[in-house]
Amino acid sequence: MHTVSRAKFIAGALLALGLTTAVVPAHAVQKGDWLIRAGLGRVVPNDSSSGFSGAPSLKVEDVSNSTNLAINFTYMMTDNVGVELLGALPFKHDLTVIGLGKVVEVKQLPPTLILLYNFSPKSGVRPYAGAGINYTRFFGERTVNGLAGTEIKLDSSTGLAVEAGIDVDINKDLFFNASLWRIDIDTRGRSSLVGVADVAIDPWVLFVGIGQRF
């Protein structure tokens, strides 16, 4: 009897699952919805640098990649158009200077505000794209190795950002998200030892996470 009821239960559950899958329509996003996505962000700089004013042969050769938790909030102003704010825990980067190796560690926060267009708000698979503005603040600069004991500061940056992403429904409220930003981040490094250098960081930012609709 126990076996039978378990079999019935499983059959019932499978039926319910099948019905649910068949019956639940693609869950649209619409005007007034809030979407919150949380996951991992990865910053991949596409950097270039001038020489330092006091030592022109020295330039930043590499700004390392960095991964941390990220979150973004979208408010749908119409069924198709939303405004999105990207935030994260600080990203930590190593700066390598030609001939000196790794000399600076720095953290940054890159909040980004995007106006986006959702191409398929009524679908269970919803691609979108947008453009907006980024503000990046650098902090926690620390010099090591060849620049240890000296000071360096990195100016904050304001620049354009573009984004493309896709939401794929998991169930009524949850969805998977993958998105990609290209952000114009340029800073000026000010070293107490070797002067100033202009560094373009201009990263790709990749995000993978889970979203919820409210």
- The tokens 């998977």 sit on which residue? 176
Return the number of the residue (141 or 184) whose C-beta is nearest Ni ion.
184
The separation between CA 83 and the C-alpha centre of its own chain, rounded to angstroms, equals 15
Least distance in angstroms from the C-beta of 114 to Ni ion: 17
Contact segment (CB under 5 A) with Ni ion among 36-44, 88-96, 106-114, 193-201 equals 193-201
Among 200, 205, 209, 211, binds Ni ion (CB under 5 A): 200
How many Å is the maximal CA-CA distance in the chain? 86
Q: Specify which residues 86 forms β-bridges with.
A: 72, 112
Structure tokens at 206: 């990749």
Q: Where are the beta strands (DSSP E) in the chain?
A: 34-44, 48-49, 51-52, 55-63, 66-76, 81-88, 91-97, 101-109, 112-118, 125-143, 152-154, 157-169, 174-183, 186-191, 195-200, 204-213
Length in residues, the chain: 214
Note whether 94 binds Ni ion by CB under 5 A: no
Count residues near Ni ion (CB under 5 A): 4
Return the number of the residue (197 or 200) whose C-beta is nearest Ni ion.
200
Return the number of the residue (61 or 184) whose C-beta is nearest Ni ion.
184
Least distance in angstroms from the C-beta of 93 to Ni ion: 16
Q: Contact letters (x/-) for Ni ion, 170-189, by CB under 5 A? A: --------------x-x---
Return the number of the residue (104 or 183) whose C-beta is nearest Ni ion.
183
Return the number of the residue (105 or 198) whose C-beta is nearest Ni ion.
198
- Cα separation of 94 and 112, whole Å? 22
Structure tokens at 199: 């560094």
Structure tokens at 129: 């794209």
Residue 46 corresponds to which amino acid? N
Q: Contact letters (x/-) for Ni ion, 129-168, by CB under 5 A? A: ----------------------------------------
Among 94, 141, 155, 202, binds Ni ion (CB under 5 A): 202
| Site residues for Ni ion per CB under 5 A | 184, 186, 200, 202
